[in-house]
Structure 1
């Protein structure tokens, strides 16, 4: 038990509150399950009940909450597998889409379970089952019970690709005394930007714990075959103007329909590639487009678009980058609704001009850098986004300039992976001695 009486009290109050809310976690899983069936599965992992599952002692544990964080962690996991093939890796997520992405990227080459809820009993069972020798936590997953449990067991914890928006910092106000104490047990916080680093210090981390290393998303590599896929897609759909609305949320769907309707008045042959952020919105996107009177194809049903389709819904996971490459202009969602934006570097990396809405607090540093480089057009609202997409469809030279600026920025931004490995590798168990 901690010697600090204030910490003991804070931890006791936090744990009691979570145990009282335990029925809500089951309700949440049921509610999400009606929207995405995978939430009905693997409840035992949510509470760290592993039954006869054999333990995995001595692993290195990487936690990435969902698809975006798994993609950001991919360069790090791949580098660890290459440089330290002796390590057993455990990758945890919270969402089913994150889980699916882990299996798509690494199959059975890594161990995978859901991270349990932040209950002391569950965290104890989780750590007893896997006994990690190091914990590599991606971005902003600051769970106090888990951080304290790792500290108490002497497990070095790194918060990597760490980001903390001004909004998230304000959101931690109620738990700030507890989170600050939990953060001080972390070995190192590798922040994405100077602003992120300063906010982690304001949250309670000691300055010497925090290092700015850059954003691992710059180190994500474009998958092989993307250009070949884009060329084939364009040929099949009739070599016509195409834009993509990617990572959209429920509150943005009507805007996407309105923008596409407006654009098709100018370009009647225009094709919309529509990739909702969450699988439970695939059907809604299809229905929105059909109700607008358009012919709709989907990746699962028809695999390709043809020259008669007005909308092609990307109702699969893990293929977004290649569809970015097939578009002339990319709108990245989560930015018209007050979500905070999504990864702007993926379309930039494949040479597609990027448009976004104004709500970008989760990607503020990347958005600023891209806008300054001339690689991003930020619309103040849906009408402005429509105008930006129209202007870029009408001006191939401007599109090409934005695309070139984006690719240059991505290339110049690489390096966070090497700096992150330099922090992490010395803390990992040494490789076995050669016979």
Structure 2
């Protein structure tokens, strides 16, 4: 986050200097919902819409990364009373933010168990719900070394809704109460896929990227690097180079996991002979482009429609785990 400049926007709010919200409206409850990054923000979209539909809730949505903050403001302002950066988990900052927001319920996503945040909830007797609870291999190993701390964290949760059977087992192993821990599935798979492109719109998108077909029989093969991590862009460029040497009209659409990494990617592009283009400079690319970099926020889902073949980022060592394949599968 610090390296990518993720704390620049809303810096003072992250320190706890947040505008106090008005008292909760009569007959309503206030939910403080926290989603870390873009994937988590998009995954809670259906929940936000449902809460707005049923009424009775005022939702304050907080995010950790700058890109998630932008996506939240672009898409979910109508379903919330405030969208803010999440405060640093340090006593003065957390206390100040709690005094400004004054929630009745707190909901966390994945494994965002911040000790000071949970402590403030406990002091105020505010129930904390963990939705889409997940524990990665790395996190499980780390938590397993500190069982006392893990059990303390789990003890501050009123309800735990896990994404998978494995996550359920891991939470129980780390000290979660089986009576409040339930398997409900991964809400990321409940994301609504709106605005699907028909064939004509898909061709217009490919033309926008500079990948238009010369004829029906002469269409480029578009390879998408979806949410790529360091080292993966160079590999994909090499693959496209070899495909073109073999006679295929292969094109590469790169969408890095963090748009701030464009400066790391540009040297790879400059070393090659292929024309390239950055979406942040202009949406429309020249027709001669071979490599198009989607270095913008919140557009992966739409850009995925241009691809014939998709590589899911964070899949090549030393990276591990893989980013979500939902956009590609849709």
Could you tell me the TM-score, scaled by structure 2's length?
0.88
The residue that corresponds to 2:151 in the other structure is 180
1:189 shift after superposition: 0.7
1:40 is aligned to 2:12: no
1:282 shift after superposition: 2.0
- For the 8 Å contact 2:49–2:79, the answer to whether it is kept is no
2:301 to 313, 321, 325: 321
1:109 shift after superposition: 4.7
1:108 shift after superposition: 5.9
The residue that corresponds to 1:231 in the other structure is 203
- For the 8 Å contact 1:144–1:179, the answer to whether it is kept is no
Against the structure 1 CA distance between its residues 293 and 170, is the aligned structure 2 distance closer, same or farther, given a 3 Å change threshold? same
Unaligned 5+ runs, structure 1: 1-27, 350-435
| Partner secondary structure for residue 282 of structure 1 | helix
Could you tell me the TM-score, scaled by structure 1's length?
0.68
For residues 99-138 of structure 1, the aligned pairs below 5 Å read 99-107=69-77, 109-110=79-80, 111-138=82-109
Structure 1 or 2: larger strand share? 2
- Give the Cα separation in 1 of the matches to 2:9 and 2:309: 38
Q: How many residues align?
A: 314
1:175 shift after superposition: 3.9
How well do the aligned residues superpose, as a CA RMSD in angstroms?
A: 2.0
1:263 is aligned to 2:233: no
- For the 8 Å contact 2:161–2:182, the answer to whether it is kept is yes
1:278 is aligned to 2:258: yes
- Give the Cα separation in 1 of the matches to 2:148 and 2:297: 39
Against the structure 1 CA distance between its residues 202 and 81, is the aligned structure 2 distance closer, same or farther, given a 3 Å change threshold? same
1:249 shift after superposition: 1.3
- For the 8 Å contact 1:189–1:211, the answer to whether it is kept is yes
| Partner secondary structure for residue 321 of structure 2 | coil
1:284 shift after superposition: 2.9
Task: Tell me whether 221-230 or 112-121 shows the greater mean CA deviation.
Answer: 221-230
For residues 137-156 of structure 1, the aligned pairs below 5 Å read 137-156=108-127
1:56 shift after superposition: 4.4
- Give the Cα separation in 1 of the matches to 2:167 and 2:154: 14
- Give the Cα separation in 2 of the matches to 1:217 and 1:331: 19
Against the structure 1 CA distance between its residues 331 and 151, is the aligned structure 2 distance closer, same or farther, given a 3 Å change threshold? same
1:160 shift after superposition: 0.4
1:212 is aligned to 2:183: yes
- For the 8 Å contact 1:230–1:323, the answer to whether it is kept is no
| Partner secondary structure for residue 44 of structure 2 | helix
1:195 shift after superposition: 0.4
- Give the Cα separation in 1 of the matches to 2:273 and 2:22: 54
Structure 1 or 2: larger helix share? 1
Against the structure 1 CA distance between its residues 158 and 330, is the aligned structure 2 distance closer, same or farther, given a 3 Å change threshold? same
1:270 shift after superposition: 1.1
1:120 shift after superposition: 2.6
- For the 8 Å contact 1:123–1:149, the answer to whether it is kept is yes
Unaligned 5+ runs, structure 2: 25-29, 214-219
The residue that corresponds to 2:327 in the other structure is 346
The residue that corresponds to 2:27 in the other structure is none
The residue that corresponds to 1:166 in the other structure is 137
| Partner secondary structure for residue 226 of structure 1 | coil
